[in-house]
Amino acid sequence: MGDRKRSTTSCLIVGGGISVPSSLYSYSFAQSPEWSETFAPQDEILNYLIKVSEDHDLYKYVRFNTALEGAEWDSIEKKWVCKLNVLGGKEIEMYQEYTVKADFLVTAVGQLNVPKWPTAPGLKDFKGKLMHSARWDWNYDIRGSTAVQIAPEVAKVASSFVIYQRSPHWLLPRDNSSISEGRKQMYRRFPALLHYDRASTMRYRESLHGAVTDVHSKEAVELEALAKEFIMSQLPNRPDLWAKLTPDYPVGCKRVVKSDDYLAIFRQKHVHLETSRITRIKSTGIECDEGETEFDLIICATGFETTSFFTDSLNIVGPDKDLQQIWKGGPRALYGMLAESLPNFAMLYGPNTNLGHNSIILMIEAQSRYISELVKEVVDARRKGDSLMIAPKRSALERFNKDLQSELNQSSFANPGCNSWYKNADGLITTNWSRNVVDYQRLLERVDWDDFELGRKADGLYMVGGCVW
């Protein structure tokens, strides 16, 4: 590449963009007729979530600017003691740390919450502006989110823009379109139409399951052909970029990315794609195998620390051991929600509940209903002056995860031809669900109390799920 004059930006590309339709970003019980586009921008999604919170009067239950530092099970009171830290605001003048006791603890931190920074040496030596896409500095005058969303916006304002690509993703057109006012009026007047369109979108996304899980499927072959055709159609005069932008691994092995405008930026003379290895980040810029370039800004769109989940930042201590010890061989949970040896504890979007083809909202709604049944039993016992402890049986957890990993090992996710955030260092797939959404929803339709160890504080019998224990 050689030396270049000082540039305005650099983006390290490893991530994808928003690839879920607006309707599937909405809850089944609170669908919106007001989306402006098929794939709504970030501000509309945020406004939608704010409106749902206001409509359901949820803010009275929320403590903002507060971080859970850790939680420890109190074996005498049969409660979780949660240590909280106030991050800012006037409250900090009165107290910064305090504890809350809970009958049931549910974490909802997800899989994509801890930013992953580049491993190239010298990152901290850079003297210009350094940002991660997941920790965006809105005071800096460039818009952005994840990689394929950042790039088109940065290309509009940068004098020179270099994209350092570690490996390409299979990329498809998003086919985003505006939703007309007439269509919105139809949705407002006939809510059933809104529900029907959402269900149709979900069914279509479900039909893509085979394409991203079975490398030999007809759908996978068609998807790869479509992606290759898309690259050539977007860059007809740049055959030098076709191979660089085409993955050498099967579709589905990594996340499939959708964007209507990412490939088009490479038509611009001031945008450069760099695929050689980064050797060092220096105070003034980036050094790679092909030379050194100076930058004012480096944007790291390098994803998240996914395979450890929250064990590195949040200490959950059970009656006998903490979650780090429980997950020493890799994160796992019964139905992706319930960890062994942790009573009255559950996770939303936990291990092996990520999808490669559909919306996580569909998974989380099923989890919420299931966990609510567990919480109800614990709260009812407490109201009666008793306490109930619910934890998954090891046998149930072992059986579920054995079947799950067997299926995952036959999927495209396990392909040895690529490394992805789906796998941990040992190659174990700890993030993804093996089947489709409907299979998962059916699995969680009812609580099978035979999956659990049940304990209570007082002597005598207790009725749970229609059975006497």
Looking at residue 140, its pLDDT comes to 75
Question: How many CB atoms neighbour CB 282 within 10 A?
Answer: 17
Evaluate whether residue 466 is within a structural domain: no
In this predicted structure, what is the pLDDT of residue 18? 54
In SS3 terms, 287-348 reads as: EECCEEEEECEEEEECCECCCCCCCCCCEEECCCCEHHHHCCCCCCCECCCECCCCCCEEEC
Alpha-carbon gap, residue 212 to 245, rounded angstroms: 19
Q: Are 429 and 414 in contact (CB under 8 A)?
A: yes
Q: How much is the pLDDT for 94? A: 59
Give domain status of residue 392, yes or no.
yes
Single-letter amino acid, residue 77: E
Q: Say if strands 171-172 and 66-74 run parallel, antiparallel, or are unpaired.
A: unpaired
Phi, psi of 74 (to 5 degrees): -95, 105
145, 177: one domain: yes
Q: Is residue 231 part of a domain?
A: yes
73 & 145 share domain: no
| CA atoms of 330 and 451, how far apart (whole Å) | 21
Report the first-to-last Cα separation within the chain, whole angstroms: 71
Which of 441, 101, 399, 160 lies closest to 297 in space, CA to CA? 160
Task: Looking at the structure, tell me whether residues 100 and 214 fall in a common domain.
Answer: no
- Do 144 and 265 belong together in one domain? yes
Average pLDDT, the chain: 88
Same domain, 264 and 202: yes
Residues 91 and 142 in one domain: no
Within a domain: 339: yes
Q: What's the token pair of residue 17?
A: 């963009």
Element (H, E) at 212: helix 209-213
Question: Hey, what amino acid is at 82?
Answer: C
Which whole-number Å values give the CA distances from 59 to 361, 363, 369, in the listed order? 20, 24, 20
Tell me the two tokens of residue 269.
Answer: 């003379």
Together in a domain, 153 and 279: yes
Q: What share of the chain is helix, strand, coil (3-state, %, to 5)?
A: 30, 20, 45
4 in a structural domain: no
Q: 83 and 135: one domain?
A: no
R_g (Cα) of the chain, nearest Å: 24
Instruction: Please check whether residue 332 lies inside any domain of the structure.
Output: yes
Find the CATH number of the domain harbouring 441: 3.50.50.60
Domain that holds residue 444: 63-106+328-458
Asked whether residue 112 is domain-assigned, the answer is no
Question: Measuring CA to CA, how many Å separate 190 from each of 25, 84, 184, 297?
Answer: 20, 45, 10, 49
The 10 Å Cβ neighbour count of residue 385 is: 8
- The 3-state DSSP class for residue 24 equals helix
The count of structural domains within the chain is: 2
366 lies in the same domain as 429: yes
Cα distance between residue 228 and residue 172, in whole Å:
9
Same domain, 170 and 206: yes
Asked if residue 186 lies in contact with residue 23, where contact means CB atoms within 8 angstroms, the answer is: no
DSSP 8-state code for residue 45: H
pLDDT of residue 142: 61
| Rounded-to-integer distance, Cα 64 and Cα 48, Å | 18
Mark whether 95 and 167 lie in a shared domain: no
Q: Is residue 133 part of a domain?
A: yes
Boundary-marking domain end, from 282, 300, 318: 300
Please give the average pLDDT of every successive group of 10 residues along the chain, which has 469 residues. Answer: 40 48 94 95 92 97 91 96 83 74 94 83 92 81 60 85 91 94 97 96 95 93 96 96 95 90 94 93 91 89 78 86 92 96 96 95 98 97 94 97 97 89 89 97 97 75 44
Are 350 and 418 in the same domain?
yes
pTM: 0.88
* Dihedral, 42, 47, 48, 50 alpha carbons, nearest 10: 130
Please give the DSSP secondary-structure letter assigned to residue 91.
Answer: G
Structure tokens belonging to residue 13: 């590309």
- What pLDDT does residue 302 have? 83
Name the burial class of residue 211, with classes exposed (0-12), middle (13-18) and buried (19+) by CB atoms within 10 angstroms of its CB. Answer: buried
Sign of CA dihedral 354, 82, 84, 63: positive
Close Cβ partners of 467 (under 8 Å, ≥ 6 residues apart): 449
